[in-house]
């Protein structure tokens, strides 16, 4: 496993084979906070990429700038050969259908059933009236049942989302994202609201499904140990810039100090930790 | 997905609120039947309704521009409404204290409690206009009937709210004050009043706002205020003046609501 | 400890001087407003001297209730409930688009937001009975005017509360639905509407029971319902009939209040 791309130095004429390419992405929030300061990287093959960094390093902003839930201030993003930045609303919606997103707080519509939440991944392909009447094509319905079975929620389709546990909700969130048959998975702190055991199960599920669907996944995660055990590539963000990009094995004490600042890392590198401080 | 064939291809949302689909359809059927029944008994004359539309346009056209030339009359009515609202809130608030205590389950003796609650329910049930018409019969046309109507409804409203607050008072705090050896009055001042006060002020402000709004209607049965002026202008087909009054009422109500919001935000 | 060394203040005051002054100023302003209100109302205190006698006289003339009048008012009573129900149903339908128009996060632009807000203010600041005056002028006397006025007043009431709940809706699910590439309509339908549904249904049921009370007086301005019989009986001095009508109103208002409370308690 060698990941050749060096930090902050994406080639200008990226090969057409890139699944995702981010170039010089900048986000300045109103009020002057510079969340992203020229982030560049590219994803050449379907793999799980962990994005690590302290709170406020810009992890969340980065993945939200990719599907433009947050509008980037400058820079370019390509999903395969489609350039996302600057797309008009209608086309942006079309691109978003190809990007599945999984959230920290699960973001299910709590008062709807599990099935409605999963099927909402197909909203891009049905009209307004069909979504009002909850009429989805048969292949979508059977696909949703299959996905629910796959994420371990067989038989839960008529349960209301607010009746589920945290782990189960995240499983619904995963099914909803995969329902889109995405070309890219954006995963924002999938385990931060879960207990350590469930967190590992969820990470394992996300990685397995990303592999099954041959989809690259960009996973924001603050837990270094989890990142090391599940990702095949790690990107380290600090103050809105990429300071590390390489295989998890290269993530030594020096690299961690570069990302998070000085601290005794000897324990962290091996062990599961729940800390999320600066 | 290769195994898709083995999964169901059809799914219907289970009905929310009703539990079973049968109950859902029963409900829908009931609603349809109800509307069919009610619309048939109301013998609505569609032709007359349609005839209303050009009339609506005509009335609207006569409302524009609103006629503010009778400013004197307008101002007098508005002021009278405001005065009724102010005075009624004050009277209601003072009278509400004994009523609130009488209607609090945890303080008042049972028969007193029941009588006070019965009085409150009886008053709340009847619309202000019904109460106003009785006062008009007793005291004649004019602002006095309006004042009494609003005072009565403020009295029962504030009394009810106060009673609920008193019932929700934390007994622990009362016991703590009593444990220091305080007498009854001291207990009330140091434990009940602080717990109840800020909400009571909020209720009063709300009531003032409500009284301003109600003072604009009870004039319709002759109980003074701007409502009387409005009602008169409608019966004289004086629509441009009516429009001016309506605009003023809307402005006053909006102002009252804004003030009420502002004070309650400050209190929090 | 160095208690002896440190000097503690011997006077403690709960409020600072400034707070005390402002509290007194507010109190003084309120008292002045109240006194001004009462004195300006030109109250003829002489009226009060025999008020209690008149009230007793009235009560005596009401008794015994003329129950034979009951069959006459069954029809109008049902009409009263119909007016409230159909009016509320119409308001329910129109309040949803209006709420989305008037909520800051779902309206199209600031112009549509301003339109939505003004519609809310107009609907809410005019009382149901005043709407009644207007709609009687348009549709002529009868239940249609009553239904229209109940709907006109209620739509703003419902839409305001729903709009507030839209503005407070959890952003998370909305973001999630947006990220699937759904259209704006679909985001509102699946991301926001389910979140505000309990508020919408709960407020509608609550408003329905207020509307039953309001419809009981719409007849005073000719907009249908039991109010017509009440007004007529009072004007004919048929006090024994008045008592029957009041009892009937009491019954339907209490029943609708109980039903509404029961339904609201069951909504989750």
* DSSP letter for each residue of C16-44: -HHHHHHHHHHHHHHHHHHHHHHHHT---
Which member of A96, A105, A108 has the closest CB to residue C181? A96
Q: Cβ separation of C179 and A99 shorter than 8 Å?
A: yes
Mean pLDDT of chain A: 85
Our CA angle for B226, C90, C177, nearest 5°, is 115
Edge to edge, the sheet with strand A74-79 lists A34-43, A20-28, A74-79, A82-83
Average of pLDDT values for A257-266?
Answer: 79
What's phi and psi for A40, nearest 5 deg? -135, 135
- Closest residue of chain C to B257, computed from CA coordinates: C125
Q: What is the pLDDT of residue C97?
A: 95
Residues of A in contact with B7 (CB under 8 A): 141-143, 145-146, 149
Q: Determine which of B11, B15, B21 to mutate to test the interface with A (most A C-beta atoms within 10 Å).
A: B11
Å from C44 to nearest chain B CA? Answer: 8
In total, the C-beta contacts within 8 angstroms joining chain A to chain C are 81
Q: Cβ separation of A111 and C177 shorter than 8 Å?
A: no
Q: Which residues pair with A48 in a beta bridge?
A: A217
* pLDDT above 70 (res B251): yes
Which member of B7, B14, B16 has the closest CB to residue A146? B7
Nearest partner of B156 among B223, B81, B210, judged by Cα: B210
C184: DSSP letter = H
Q: Please give the ipTM for the structure prediction.
A: 0.82
Q: Determine which of A133, A134, A138 to mutate to test the interface with B (most B C-beta atoms within 10 Å).
A: A138
Å from B86 to nearest chain C CA? Answer: 6
Q: What is the CATH number of the domain that holds A248?
A: 3.40.50.300
Residues of B in contact with C231 (CB under 8 A): 133
Cβ contact B88:B147 at 8 Å: yes
Average of pLDDT values for B28-37?
Answer: 92
d(CA C217, CA C233) in angstroms, rounded, equals 13
Tokens representing C181 are 């590439």
What's phi and psi for A217, nearest 5 deg? -130, 130
Residues of A in contact with C190 (CB under 8 A): 109, 112, 116, 120, 123, 131
Whether residue A206 lies within 8 A of chain C, CB to CB, comes out as no
Q: Is residue A197 part of a domain?
A: no
Residue B58 neighbours by CB under 8 Å, 6+ apart = none
d(CA A72, CA A78) in angstroms, rounded, equals 13
Largest CA distance in chain A: 58
d(CA C227, CA C213) in angstroms, rounded, equals 10
Q: Cβ separation of A120 and C189 shorter than 8 Å?
A: no
Q: Is residue C13 part of a domain?
A: no
Which member of A69, A128, A176 has the closest CB to residue C183? A128
Nearest partner of B81 among B131, B137, B149, judged by Cα: B149
Å from A141 to nearest chain B CA? Answer: 5
Q: What is the pLDDT of residue A9?
A: 42
Residues of B in contact with A134 (CB under 8 A): 12-13
Q: Cβ separation of A116 and B13 shorter than 8 Å?
A: yes
Q: Cβ separation of A111 and C172 shorter than 8 Å?
A: no
pLDDT confidence band for A8 (50 / 70 / 90): very low
Q: What is the pLDDT of residue C32?
A: 82
Q: What is the pLDDT of residue B29?
A: 93
Nearest partner of B255 among B223, B208, B187, judged by Cα: B208
Location of structure tokens 């099927």: A119
Q: Cβ separation of B42 and C82 shorter than 8 Å?
A: yes
Find the helix or strand (DSSP H, E) in which C43 lies: none
Altogether, the residues listed in chain C come to a count of: 268
d(CA C251, CA C149) in angstroms, rounded, equals 23
Task: Give the number of domains in chain C.
Answer: 1
Location of structure tokens 């008012």: C73
Average of pLDDT values for B8-36?
Answer: 85
Cβ contact C69:C226 at 8 Å: no
Residues of A in contact with C185 (CB under 8 A): 128
* pLDDT above 80 (res A264): no
Model pLDDT for residues B78-126, shown as the tens digit of each residue = 888 888 888 888 889 889 888 988 888 877 788 989 999 999 988 888 8
pLDDT confidence band for B203 (50 / 70 / 90): confident
Residues of C with CB under 8 A from a CB of A: 172-173, 175-183, 185-186, 189-191, 194-195, 197-198
Model pLDDT for residues B170-189, shown as the tens digit of each residue = 777 777 777 787 777 777 77
SS3 B34: helix
Tokens representing C101 are 């128009």
Cβ contact A176:B31 at 8 Å: no
A179 vs C53, higher pLDDT: A179
What domains does chain B contain, in order, with CATH numbers?
71-267 (1.10.3720.10)
Q: Cβ separation of A146 and B16 shorter than 8 Å?
A: no
- Residue A125's CB is within 10 A of a number of other CB atoms, namely 16
Model pLDDT for residues A215-227, shown as the tens digit of each residue = 999 999 988 888 8
Q: Cβ separation of B1 and A143 shorter than 8 Å?
A: yes
Q: What is the pLDDT of residue C47?
A: 67
pLDDT confidence band for B268 (50 / 70 / 90): low
Whether residue C41 lies within 8 A of chain B, CB to CB, comes out as yes
Phi-psi region of A191 (alpha: psi -120 to 50; beta: other; left: phi over 0): alpha
Tokens representing A208 are 């397995």
Cβ contact B147:B90 at 8 Å: no
pTM for this structure? 0.83
**Could you check whether the bond before residue B65 is cis, i.e. omega within 30 degrees of 0?**
yes
Q: What is the CATH number of the domain that holds C188?
A: 1.10.3720.10
Model pLDDT for residues A102-141, shown as the tens digit of each residue = 999 889 998 899 999 999 999 888 888 888 888 899 999 9
d(CA B144, CA C42) in angstroms, rounded, equals 8
Per-residue pLDDT of chain C (268 residues; tens, 9 = 90+): 555 567 777 777 666 777 778 878 887 887 787 777 777 666 666 667 777 777 888 888 888 888 888 888 899 999 999 999 999 999 999 999 999 999 988 998 999 999 999 899 889 888 899 899 889 988 888 899 999 999 999 999 999 999 999 999 999 999 999 999 888 899 999 999 999 999 999 999 999 999 999 999 999 988 988 999 999 998 888 888 999 999 999 999 999 999 999 988 887 6
What's phi and psi for B15, nearest 5 deg? -65, 130
Which member of A67, A93, A180 has the closest CB to residue C183? A93
Q: Cβ separation of B13 and A115 shorter than 8 Å?
A: yes
B185 vs A178, higher pLDDT: A178
Average of pLDDT values for A183-201?
Answer: 91
Q: Is residue C92 part of a domain?
A: yes
Q: Cβ separation of C43 and B143 shorter than 8 Å?
A: yes
Q: Is residue C146 part of a domain?
A: yes
Q: Cβ separation of C230 and B48 shorter than 8 Å?
A: no
Q: Cβ separation of C195 and A131 shorter than 8 Å?
A: no
Model pLDDT for residues B122-158, shown as the tens digit of each residue = 888 888 899 998 888 888 888 888 888 999 999 999 9
Nearest partner of B148 among B91, B201, B194, judged by Cα: B91
d(CA A158, CA B13) in angstroms, rounded, equals 7
Domain that holds residue A31: 1-98+228-261
Q: Is residue A38 part of a domain?
A: yes
d(CA B196, CA B163) in angstroms, rounded, equals 10
Q: Cβ separation of C180 and A103 shorter than 8 Å?
A: no
Domain that holds residue C152: 79-266
Whether residue A110 lies within 8 A of chain C, CB to CB, comes out as yes
Positive or negative, the CA dihedral B128, B129, B132, B134 is negative
Mean pLDDT of chain B: 83
Q: Is residue C234 part of a domain?
A: yes
Model pLDDT for residues A58-82, shown as the tens digit of each residue = 899 999 999 899 999 999 999 988 8
Q: What is the pLDDT of residue A6?
A: 41
Task: Give the number of domains in chain A.
Answer: 1
Cβ contact A25:A39 at 8 Å: yes
CA distance readout (Å), B145 to A191, B3, B67, B221: 67, 79, 29, 10
Å from C126 to nearest chain B CA? Answer: 7
Q: What is the pLDDT of residue B67?
A: 79
Q: Cβ separation of C144 and B48 shorter than 8 Å?
A: yes
Beta strands in chain A (DSSP E): 20-28, 34-43, 48-52, 74-79, 82-83, 99-102, 184-188, 217-220, 233-238, 241-246
Cβ contact B200:B101 at 8 Å: no
Q: Is residue A214 part of a domain?
A: no
């Amino acid at each position: 496993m060698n990941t050749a791309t060096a930090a902050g130095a994406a080639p200008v004429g990226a090969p057409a084979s890139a699944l995702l390419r981010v170039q010089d992405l900048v986000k300045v929030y109103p009020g002057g906070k510079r969340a992203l300061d020229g982030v560049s990287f590219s994803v050449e093959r379907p793999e799980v990429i962990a994005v690590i960094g302290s709170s406020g390093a810009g992890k969340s902003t980065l993945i939200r700038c990719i599907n433009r839930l947050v509008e980037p201030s400058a820079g370019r993003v390509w999903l395969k050969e489609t350039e996302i930045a600057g797309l008009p609303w209608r086309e942006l919606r079309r691109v978003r259908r190809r990007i599945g997103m999984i959230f920290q707080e699960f973001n299910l519509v709590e008062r709807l059933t599990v099935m409605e939440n999963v099927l909402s991944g197909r909203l891009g392909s049905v009209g307004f009236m069909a979504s009002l009447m909850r009429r989805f094509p048969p292949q979508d319905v059977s696909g949703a049942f299959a996905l629910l079975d796959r994420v371990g929620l067989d038989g839960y389709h008529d349960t209301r989302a607010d009746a589920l546990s945290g782990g189960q909700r995240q499983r619904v969130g995963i099914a909803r994202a995969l329902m889109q048959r995405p070309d890219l998975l954006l995963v924002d702190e999938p385990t931060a609201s879960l207990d350590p055991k469930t967190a590992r199960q969820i990470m394992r599920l996300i990685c397995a499904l990303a592999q099954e669907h041959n989809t690259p996944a960009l996973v924001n995660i603050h837990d270094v140990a989890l990142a090391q055990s599940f990702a095949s590539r790690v990107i380290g963000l600090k103050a809105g810039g990429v300071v590390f990009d390489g295989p998890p094995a290269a993530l030594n004490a020096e690299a961690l100090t570069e990302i998070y600042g000085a601290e005794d890392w000897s324990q962290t590198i091996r062990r599961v930790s729940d800390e999320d401080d600066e | 997905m290769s195994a898709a064939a083995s999964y169901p291809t059809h799914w219907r949302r289970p009905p929310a609120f009703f539990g079973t689909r049968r109950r859902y359809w029963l409900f829908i059927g009931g609603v349809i039947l109800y509307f069919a029944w009610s619309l048939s008994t109301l013998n609505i004359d569609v032709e007359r309704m349609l005839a209303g539309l050009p009339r609506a346009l005509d009335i609207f056209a006569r409302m524009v521009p609103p006629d503010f030339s009778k400013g004197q009359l307008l101002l007098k009515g508005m002021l009278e409404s405001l005065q009724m609202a102010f005075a009624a809130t004050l009277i209601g608030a003072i009278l509400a204290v004994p009523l609130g205590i009488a209607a609090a389950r945890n303080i008042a003796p049972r028969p007193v409690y029941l009588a006070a609650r019965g009085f409150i329910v009886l008053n709340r049930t009847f619309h202000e206009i019904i109460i106003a018409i009785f006062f008009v019969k007793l005291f004649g046309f004019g602002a006095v009937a309006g004042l009494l109507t609003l005072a009565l409804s403020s009295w029962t409203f504030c009394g009810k709210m106060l009673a609920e607050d008193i019932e929700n008072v934390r007994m622990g705090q009362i016991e703590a004050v009593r444990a220091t050896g305080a007498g009854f009055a001291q207990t009330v001042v140091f434990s009940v009043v602080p717990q109840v006060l800020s909400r009571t002020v909020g209720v009063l402000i709300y009531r003032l706002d409500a009284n301003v709004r109600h003072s604009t209607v009870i004039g319709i049965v002759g109980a003074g205020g701007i409502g009387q002026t409005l009602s008169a202008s409608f019966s004289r087909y004086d629509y441009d003046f009516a429009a001016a009054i309506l605009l003023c009422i809307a402005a006053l109500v909006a102002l009252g609501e804004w003030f009420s919001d502002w004070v309650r935000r400050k209190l929090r | 400890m160095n208690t002896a060394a440190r000097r503690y203040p011997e006077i403690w005051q709960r409020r600072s001087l400034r707070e005390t002054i402002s509290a007194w100023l507010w109190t003084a302003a309120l008292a002045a407003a109240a006194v001004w209100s009462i004195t300006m109302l030109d109250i003829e205190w002489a009226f009060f001297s025999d008020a209690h006698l008149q009230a007793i006289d009235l009560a005596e003339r009401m008794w015994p209730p003329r129950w034979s009048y009951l069959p006459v008012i069954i029809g109008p009573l049902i009409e009263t409930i119909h007016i409230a129900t159909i009016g509320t149903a119409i308001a329910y339908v129109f309040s949803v688009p209006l709420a989305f128009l008037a909520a800051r996060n779902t309206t199209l632009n600031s112009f549509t937001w301003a339109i939505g807000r003004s519609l809310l203010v107009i609907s809410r600041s005019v009382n149901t009975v005043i709407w009644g005056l207007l709609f009687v002028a348009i549709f002529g006397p009868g239940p249609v005017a009553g239904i229209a006025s109940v709907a006109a007043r209620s739509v703003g009431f419902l839409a305001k509360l729903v709009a507030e709940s839209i503005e407070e809706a959890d952003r998370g699910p909305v973001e999630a639905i947006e990220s699937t590439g759904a259209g704006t309509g679909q985001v509102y339908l699946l991301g926001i509407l389910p979140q505000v549904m309990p508020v919408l249904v709960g407020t509608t049921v609550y408003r329905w029971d207020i509307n039953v009370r309001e419809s009981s007086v719409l007849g005073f301005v000719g907009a249908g319902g039991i109010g017509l019989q009440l007004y007529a009986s009072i004007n004919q001095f048929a006090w024994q009939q008045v008592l029957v009508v009041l009892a009937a109103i009491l019954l339907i208002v209490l029943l609708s209040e109980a039903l509404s409370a029961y339904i609201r308690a069951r909504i989750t």
